[in-house]
Structure 1
Amino acid sequence: MTPSPTSAAALDSRGTRRVVIASSIGTVIEWYDFALYEAASALVFGPLFFPEQSAIGGALASFAVFAVAFFVRPIGGMIAAHIGDRIGRKPILIFTVTLMGVATVAVGLLPTYEAIGMWAPILLVLTRMLQGIGAGAEFAGAVTAVAEYAPQNKRAFYTSFAQASVGLAFVLSTGFFAVLAAIPRDALLNGAWRIPFLASVVIFGVAIFIRRRVEETPEFIEAKSEISKPTTEPTKIPLLQAIKGSPRELTVGILCGSGLNVAGYLVNTFSLSYIKTTLEMSATVATLGVVAATGSSIIAVPLFGILADRIGRWPVLLGGAIFTAIYMPFYFMLLDTRQSGIVVAAMVIAYGVGQSAMLGSQSAFLSELFETRYRFTAIAASREINVMVLGGTTPFIATAMVGATNGSPWPVVLFVVASQFLTIVSVLLARRTRRIPGTGPSNLQVRKIESQPLT
């Protein structure tokens, strides 16, 4: 497929910057909303919505509802991606930010168990499902849009901004709760917890405004024009096209996020509860640790993106998984010192090195596995299936493991190491890629070499 002069001209720096900014800001609002629940799950939702449970039971119930969103994420991702691959990327980018913004404001308006009894956790589950549907579609759409605008030799750098935006979202949401955690507990439970949920309406409006100004990606327009030709078979069901056309790549895509998802949700969600409940440290230390850890990724992720553009996506992704597997036993040893500075530093290292390396390289790695005509769907399936199985369940599994072993973290360590092994295996199974002139951004196209394993 040879790019037309029009599509090539559209790939100017201004268009690339515009779509990067729009996708990043949208990702901030999406994951700010999503991360709010993570922080609230560990800090306040237990007594507010599950007051009849013990402290550990309340945390487990909150994390179970937290996991519900991850089971509906693939549904939202598949529906939106199907439309995105058939109609366009832009409509979905607007829809997802609207859905999740509405769901988050609704959480801030929910009555508690004390007011309406069992209806409170039921409504919490329903709003959580809406958040999950929005999140399932959002990230794949943002990454796809940026990847289809960015030049191939800077694709990891540009797509890394969507991942770095997730870190910024966690800083905003968890930072909000870090401030709230410093106020009296009664004031927090009596209504102060609602403030960050309701405040999201402001950045939600900004994200809508910016995303409406983004143009459709040149690669999608070009692919759609090819599909419309009489000699070309139309893409009726993108998911089936992906399964039929790229089964190995789809398997690699699903498995490669294992280490990233488990380690990420362990640090930014489970660690809040572990530090506060098991180690009996201040909630302020826990939330500040998450703010510092995720905040480090705002800088580290783009730097690893630059590295992935220089030496390749797979070495950076592989290196992040190996580092995390080696570091995880030391992570819990450092947490168990109960020294505030050491605890925060341990979280920063885990997120700023191993996690950021995987975040900085994964988006470009995934986008280059699949063809334009079903890229959105394949990326959504790859990410959301893994997140459903491992990401959303990680806080629940880790909390249950610690509870079953009277506070010992070593089963959790083995769980995280096993997840890194899945990422390592998937990357090693990926096929080597090489540049072939003639198509794609910057007159370069990534093609798969069918017979050569990655070395």
Structure 2
Amino acid sequence: MARTPSSAELDPKAIRRVVVASSIGTVIEWYDFALYGVASALVFGPLFFPSQSSVAGTLASFAVFAVAFFVRPLGGLIAAHVGDRVGRKPVLVFTITLMGAATVAVGLLPTYDVVGGWAPVLLLITRILQGIGAGAEFAGAVTTVAEYAPEDRRGFYTSFAQASVGAAFVLSTGFFSILATIPEHILLGWAWRIPFLASFVIFAVALFIRSRIEETPDFVQARETIRAQEGTTSTARKIPVVQALRERPRHLVVGLLCGSGLNVAGYLVNTFSLSYLKNTLGVSATVATVGVVVAMASSIVAVPLFGRLSDRVGRAPVLAGGAIFTACYIPPYFLLLQTEQPVLIVLAMTIAYGVGQSAMLGSQSAFLSELFETRYRFTAIAFSRELNVMVLGGTTPFIATALVAAVDGPWLVVGFVIVCQALTLLALALARSSRTHAERADSGALDGDGSTALTSHA
């Protein structure tokens, strides 16, 4: 049987096409997902939970925001199972279709004034569908790019999936920063629907691009080997998540913990800070949204630079550096926000995202992809990452809002963020002790399933 070319042997143009296709799809996916986060902080409270007080309405809105993160692991596991057994491409097409349809549906929903209690129920349903789609999106994009990219540029190429998240937040938050300048009665009346309905156009473009992605050579080779072994392998051993749990339990713990710092810090800046600035400090929504736009825009450039740095010095040092910087920076971050000065607010958010967050984002994708073998890589990344996002990412705006209300200040939030950075450092210590980067003495060796191994650079 002829051997499928490895990622290192592919035409660089083919690699770039996959990177662009995956990244553009991720932009659209996370535009949809981020849009709800911005709307939660600015408009969904009065539109769907008007009977609550201002704080209670915001908490209710953030609670629905968090629901999608609780279904993400389930959606991710189901889709990733298909991705590891059938192929990466069909899953990437499915996730973007589901999430695009759910987001357009949000723009068509009746509000509380029209249908009463059914309004938040319908909003919850669309949010669940968004979560199912997002649960497999990142893992699919990173897995696809990692299996095409050569080892010495894997950090750089996989970082574009993370940088694309920044582009998505710029689009979604930028939309609302423009809408925030119009009278409030128009914004709450119909204008808030525009960015959700507009997603149909970019969703269609992304779907077309994703449909042209070729299956990764590493997966094709792994699938051929798995099919040859099907008659001698137990059913349990054929299930990717079971394989990962049996063969790499420590690696799954590392993958689960390593995203703690970036998930909490990320949603603190791009979602919670909007509500904190507007509802607690009384800063205009325009200043808050502009701050998020500039901060996320900085990550579009910074994340690939940190990804390239991880190719040179290793994934773990860059990831650890981002976590340490964030832990040290979070106290002055809130002090800068409390000045209520627009320039200092934008500067604070930009430093938080452009340095600490971007360092973690730029190195995480390659770090995760190099923890696991081809035959269950998609599933293992989705499992470990989405569980962390469920517990810490989606709940961060809710937790932070409750902590601020409890002590009438942000300092419990500061402690919460620092503890989560420590969890990322713990994961890196576990990775080092388990010698994840030394599992292959020969980087050209094949996995036991016959697929080309991704040599870890932790």
Coarse TM-score class (shorter-chain normalised):
over 0.9
Whole-angstrom distance in 1 between the partners of 2:66 and 2:9:
41
SS in 1 for 2:355: helix
Match of residue 427 from structure 2: 426
Match of residue 210 from structure 1: 209
Cα shift at 1:436: 2.1
Match of residue 414 from structure 2: 413
Mean Cα displacement is larger for which, 8-17 or 380-389? Answer: 8-17
Structure 2 unaligned regions, length at least 5: none
Cα shift at 1:9: 8.3
Provide the TM-score with structure 1 as the length reference.
0.95
443, 451, 458: which one aligns with 1:437: 443
**Residues 1-41 of structure 1, C-alpha deviation per residue, up to 9 Å, x if partnerless?**
x9926456862112111111111011001000000000100
Q: Is the 8 A contact 2:49 2:60 kept in 1?
A: yes
1:233 and 2:233 correspond: yes
Percent of pairs identical after alignment?
69
Letter in 2 for 1:344: V
1:106 and 2:122 correspond: no
**Residues 336-376 of structure 1, C-alpha deviation per residue, up to 9 Å, x if partnerless?**
11111001100000000000000000000000000000000
Q: Is the 8 A contact 1:100 1:134 kept in 2?
A: yes
**Residues 295-332 of structure 1, C-alpha deviation per residue, up to 9 Å, x if partnerless?**
10000000000100000000000000000000001100
Cα shift at 1:229: 2.1
Cα shift at 1:291: 0.3
Whole-angstrom distance in 2 between the partners of 1:3 and 1:386:
40
273, 291, 294: which one aligns with 2:293: 291
Letter in 2 for 1:415: F
Q: Is the 8 A contact 1:436 1:444 kept in 2?
A: no
**Residues 146-176 of structure 1, C-alpha deviation per residue, up to 9 Å, x if partnerless?**
0000001100100000000000000000000
1:307 and 2:306 correspond: no
Structure 1 unaligned regions, length at least 5: none
The 3 A distance-change label for structure 1 pair 150 and 404 is same
SS in 2 for 1:53: coil
Whole-angstrom distance in 2 between the partners of 1:410 and 1:340:
21
1:52-451 correspondence to structure 2 within 5 Å: 52-230=51-229, 233=233, 236-406=238-408, 408-430=409-431, 431-432=434-435, 433-434=437-438, 436-439=442-445, 445-446=453-454
Whole-angstrom distance in 2 between the partners of 1:322 and 1:310:
20
Whole-angstrom distance in 1 between the partners of 2:253 and 2:429:
12
Cα RMSD between the aligned structures? 1.9
Cα shift at 1:440: 7.0
The 3 A distance-change label for structure 1 pair 98 and 444 is closer
Cα shift at 1:236: 2.0
Q: Is the 8 A contact 1:89 1:217 kept in 2?
A: yes
Whole-angstrom distance in 2 between the partners of 1:426 and 1:260:
13
Q: Is the 8 A contact 1:3 1:222 kept in 2?
A: no
**Residues 230-282 of structure 1, C-alpha deviation per residue, up to 9 Å, x if partnerless?**
48637521001000010000000000000000000000000000000111010
Q: Is the 8 A contact 1:3 1:440 kept in 2?
A: no
Match of residue 17 from structure 2: 18
Q: Is the 8 A contact 2:7 2:149 kept in 1?
A: no
Q: Is the 8 A contact 1:317 1:362 kept in 2?
A: yes
SS in 2 for 1:437: coil
Letter in 2 for 1:99: L
**Residues 123-167 of structure 1, C-alpha deviation per residue, up to 9 Å, x if partnerless?**
000000000000001110000000000001100100000000000
1:43-54 correspondence to structure 2 within 5 Å: 43-54=42-53
Whole-angstrom distance in 2 between the partners of 1:129 and 1:439:
42
Whole-angstrom distance in 2 between the partners of 1:171 and 1:447:
34
SS in 2 for 1:228: helix
Letter in 1 for 2:116: G
The count of aligned residue pairs is 447
Whole-angstrom distance in 1 between the partners of 2:50 and 2:361:
37
Letter in 1 for 2:342: S
Q: Is the 8 A contact 2:35 2:172 kept in 1?
A: yes
Whole-angstrom distance in 2 between the partners of 1:344 and 1:154:
32
Cα shift at 1:189: 0.3
Whole-angstrom distance in 2 between the partners of 1:401 and 1:86:
43
The 3 A distance-change label for structure 1 pair 359 and 3 is farther
SS in 2 for 1:143: helix
SS in 2 for 1:229: helix
Q: Is the 8 A contact 1:96 1:134 kept in 2?
A: yes
Whole-angstrom distance in 1 between the partners of 2:228 and 2:18:
28
SS in 2 for 1:290: helix
Whole-angstrom distance in 2 between the partners of 1:75 and 1:27:
19
Q: Is the 8 A contact 2:374 2:453 kept in 1?
A: no
Letter in 2 for 1:291: V
Q: Is the 8 A contact 2:4 2:220 kept in 1?
A: no
Q: Is the 8 A contact 1:7 1:222 kept in 2?
A: no
Whole-angstrom distance in 1 between the partners of 2:247 and 2:400:
37
Whole-angstrom distance in 1 between the partners of 2:149 and 2:6:
13
Q: Is the 8 A contact 1:16 1:150 kept in 2?
A: yes
Letter in 2 for 1:31: W
Whole-angstrom distance in 1 between the partners of 2:305 and 2:405:
38
Provide the TM-score with structure 2 as the length reference.
0.95
The 3 A distance-change label for structure 1 pair 436 and 190 is same
SS in 1 for 2:238: coil
Q: Is the 8 A contact 2:19 2:157 kept in 1?
A: yes
Whole-angstrom distance in 2 between the partners of 1:191 and 1:263:
32
Whole-angstrom distance in 2 between the partners of 1:52 and 1:5:
61
Cα shift at 1:438: 2.0
